[in-house]
């Protein structure tokens, strides 16, 4: 039988080379995580600041058409359900990490920095810190907005009918009498 002899010095040198490369890989991963955290903090800061941006320059070929809404469509939903469509800087609740991840993904896909975030939410969500069902939008021009993320799903389907008396004065008068 032929048994190959092992040179321990060469084995140690080979192991040391692997060790250095592992450390380098770990350093690269650490740098990526730090950069990712820095990007996420910048997005959180942008969500908290009022922006003067009227539109975001996006690549329209990459947009999902079912997430593009006109201001009039958003306004109708806000009126029907008594929601508000305001800057994200006014929103009191925490914006979920999933929404921030989607913003990061959109920024990378479209090679731009997104600004001018808007949120559709119940009016109390802009006053209180424990309210759900917001929608996060960005303006894309000509009164069109792009839906980035929706969170919360506990809105009652009867809400539209509950706020009807407040919306229509005739119904309110009938209920009073």
Three-state secondary structure string covering 145-170: EEEEEECCCCCCCCHHHHCHHHHCHH
The verdict on residue 30 lying in a domain is no
Total domains present in the chain? 1
SS (H, E, C) 34-47: HHHHHHHHHHHHHH
d(CA 5, CA 88): 69
For residue 61, give its domain range: 43-164
From the CB of residue 139, how many other CB atoms can be counted at a distance below 10 Å? 20
Q: What is the pLDDT of residue 153?
A: 61
| pLDDT tens per residue across all 177 residues of the chain | 567 777 777 778 777 777 666 777 788 888 988 998 998 888 888 888 776 666 788 888 888 888 889 999 999 888 888 888 888 888 878 888 898 999 999 999 999 888 888 888 887 766 544 455 678 888 888 888 888 888 766 555 655 666 666 556 666 666 666
Beta carbons of 68 and 145 less than 8 angstroms apart: yes
Per-residue model confidence (pLDDT) at position 34: 92
Residue 56 is assigned to a structural domain of this protein: yes
Domain contains 21: no
In a domain, residue 15? The reply is: no
Q: Does the residue 1 lie in any domain?
A: no
In a domain, 9, yes or no: no
Inside any domain, residue 52: yes
pLDDT at residue 160, rounded to an integer: 62
**Residue 54 contacts residue 139 (beta carbons within 8 Å):** yes
The answer to the question of residue 136 being in a domain is yes
E strands, 21-143, in order: 68-70, 83-87, 118-122, 135-141
């Amino acid at each position: 039988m032929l048994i190959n002899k092992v040179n321990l010095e060469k084995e140690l040198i080979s192991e040391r080379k692997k060790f250095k490369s592992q450390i380098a890989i770990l350093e690269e991963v650490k740098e990526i995580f730090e950069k990712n955290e820095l990007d996420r903090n910048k997005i959180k800061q942008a969500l908290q600041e009022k922006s003067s941006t009227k539109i975001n320059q996006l690549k329209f070929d990459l947009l999902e058409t079912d997430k593009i809404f006109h201001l009039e469509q958003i306004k109708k939903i806000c009126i029907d359900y008594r929601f508000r469509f305001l800057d994200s800087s006014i929103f009191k609740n925490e914006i979920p990490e999933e929404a921030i991840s989607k913003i990061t993904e959109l920024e990378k896909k479209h090679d731009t920095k997104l600004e001018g975030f808007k949120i559709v939410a119940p009016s109390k969500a802009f006053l209180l810190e424990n309210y759900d069902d917001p929608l996060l939008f960005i303006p894309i021009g000509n009164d069109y907005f792009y839906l980035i993320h929706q969170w919360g799903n506990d809105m009652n389907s009867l809400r539209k009918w509950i706020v009807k008396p407040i919306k229509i004065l005739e119904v309110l008068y009938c209920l009073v009498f």
